[in-house]
Amino acid sequence: MQDISDDVLIKASQGDLKSFEELYKASAGFVYNVALRIVNNREDAEEVTQEIFFIIYHKLRGFRFESSFKTWIYRITVNYSINFARKTSITRNKTIEYEDTSIAGTVVGDVQKGIDKEHREKVIEDLLNIINPDQRACIVLRNMEGLSYEQIAQTLKININTVRTRLKRAREKLLRGKKAGGLWTFVKNTKI
Amino acid sequence: MDICKKYKDLILTNYIDGEMDTEMKQQIDSHLLVCPNCRRFAEEVNHFLVVPFKNALRENVPEHLWLSVKKNIEKENRLNEKAGNLIHRLMESLSFPVLAPVVGSFVLLILVGSLIFYNQQMKQGKEKEQGEYLVYLLGATEGSPETENNVPETPIEKYFL
């Protein structure tokens, strides 16, 4: 996420739309990508991103400059995305079952055609579908956004040991997915 | 606890995430040199669980998103402005130069009227009470016809009284 000056933040918090646009441009990439990985669906990620910026616009008036703006925006993004993903998890689980069985047959053939962006994205999407939204948030913040355990704990307002436990369980679950067959074969063959 | 199990737990978290002190890292590194099973596990974890996420492409934010956000904010601002204007107009119509003297006079009139009415009520009540008391006093000194009837008539009354 790009740095945002205090001046822009103050003006945006006073309702200045031009400054808010600057703030949006500096943070939209982060918000959209984190939301996309946690809700794991493009349409949902767009909806979530819009909602998050609407929330930020309102909450900015009460933002205390004591805490880091980056941590604040991380927290809003992750919490909103987790809640959204939880709400839609029932539908999502049904989709996973369908995808797990379909991958084994189709993907190996695809690998022979070459690895492209779409396949790589499919791997990430299917891996993230195996774990729950809380675990997804930890994996995304650690492996994709490069946050330390301490920063993840601060963002999610949880204990550092909880961060470790969530990461461990998520990875164990992903390893168990190895035995599920298709998906793992695909990950192995894609040599990411 | 099995040493391999202990190290595998650490490999799955702190070791691959680089959240480990040097001493512990050296211990695990030394173990990996002599334990092919744990070494394979560490390689697998890194290759399948870390690298795919690290190399994931960052998506560009769709252009239309800002327009939707902006539209929602502007729509809400317009609504707030309308509500604000309505309240403002209401406050203005009640403001001092126009209606305040009229409202003030009306309130004063009601206050004075109710004060006069209350005083009259109090006065009437007191006069009535005083009259009743005078009647009672007069009755007590002159004697009432009832006292004459108190003379015992029957033998039993005579006996007791």
Whether residues A154 and A74 share a domain: the answer is: no
ipTM of model over 0.90: no
What DSSP character marks residue B11?
Answer: I
Residue among A56, A130, A60 at smallest CA distance from A89: A130
Tell me the pLDDT tens digit for each residue of B88-134: 777 766 665 667 778 888 999 999 999 999 888 888 887 778 778 77
Q: Which residue of A has its CA nearest to B77?
A: A15
Give the three-class secondary structure for B59: coil
Same domain membership, residue A68 and residue A14:
yes
Contact (Cβ atoms closer than 8 angstroms) between residue A103 and residue A183: yes
Coil vs helix vs strand at B80 = helix
Q: What is the pLDDT of residue A106?
A: 46
Spatial distance between the Cα atoms of B76 and A86, rounded to a whole number of angstroms: 28
For residue A189, what pLDDT is reported? Answer: 53
**Residue A36's pLDDT is what?**
95
Tell me which residues of chain B, numbers 46 to 65, contact chain A at a CB-CB cutoff of 8 Å: 48-62, 65
**Tokens, residue A179:** 């035995």
Distance from CA of B121 to the nearest CA of A (A): 58
Residue B90 CA, chain-centre distance (Å), reads 27
Most distant CA pair in chain A: distance in Å? 56
pLDDT band, residue B10 (cuts 50/70/90): very high
Answer yes or no: do A179 and A101 share one domain.
yes
A25 and A96 together in one domain: no
Q: Pick the last residue of a domain from A87, A120, A142.
A: A87
Q: Spell out the alpha helix ranges (H) of chain A.
A: 6-13, 17-39, 42-59, 69-87, 89-113, 117-130, 133-139, 149-156, 160-180, 182-190
Domain annotation covers residue A27: yes
Are residues A15 and A72 located together in one domain of the fold?
yes
Q: Is residue A95 part of a domain?
A: yes
Which fold, B3-54?
Arc Repressor Mutant, subunit A (1.10.10)
Q: Smallest CA–CA separation between B106 and chain A, in Å?
A: 43
Looking at the fold, whether A117 and A136 belong to one and the same domain comes out as yes
Q: How far apart are CA B58 and CA B51, in angstroms?
A: 14
Q: Are residues A32 and A115 in the same domain?
A: no
**Parent domain of A129:** 89-190
- For A59, the enclosing helix (H) or strand (E) is helix A42-59
The encoded tokens of residue A125 equal: 């999407």
Rg over CA atoms, chain A: 18
Q: What is the mean pLDDT of each run of 10 residues along chain A (192 residues)?
A: 81 90 93 94 94 92 79 93 86 48 45 62 88 94 94 94 96 80 53 47
| Residue listed under structure tokens 């925006």 | A73
> Are residues A136 and A51 part of one domain?
no
Cross-chain Cβ contact A143/B66 below 8 Å: no
Is the pLDDT reported for residue B148 higher than 60? no
DSSP, res B151: S
- Which amino acid is it at A149? Y
The alpha carbons of chain B give a radius of gyration, in whole angstroms, of 51
Predicted confidence at residue A107, as pLDDT, reads 47
Per-residue confidence (pLDDT) for residue A37, from 0 to 100: 94
**Are A71 and A19 within one domain?**
yes
- Express each pLDDT in A168-183 by its tens digit: 999 999 988 765 555 5
Best residue in A2, A50, A122, A150 to probe B by mutation, most B CBs within 10 Å? A50
Asked if residues A60 and A12 have their Cβ atoms less than 8 Å apart, the reply is yes
One domain for residues A79 and A132: no
For residue A178, the model assigns a pLDDT of 63
Work out the mean pLDDT of chain B and round it to a whole number.
83
Instruction: Tell me the pLDDT tens digit for each residue of B41-97.
Output: 999 999 888 888 888 888 999 999 999 999 988 888 888 877 777 777 777 666 656
Q: Are B49 and A177 in contact (CB under 8 A)?
A: no
Q: Which two tokens stand for residue A144?
A: 């994709």
Query: Is A128 in the same domain as A182?
Result: yes
Using the beta-carbon criterion (under 8 Å), do B73 and A57 form an inter-chain contact?
yes
The whole-number pLDDT of residue A101 equals 40
* A74/A142 same-domain check: no
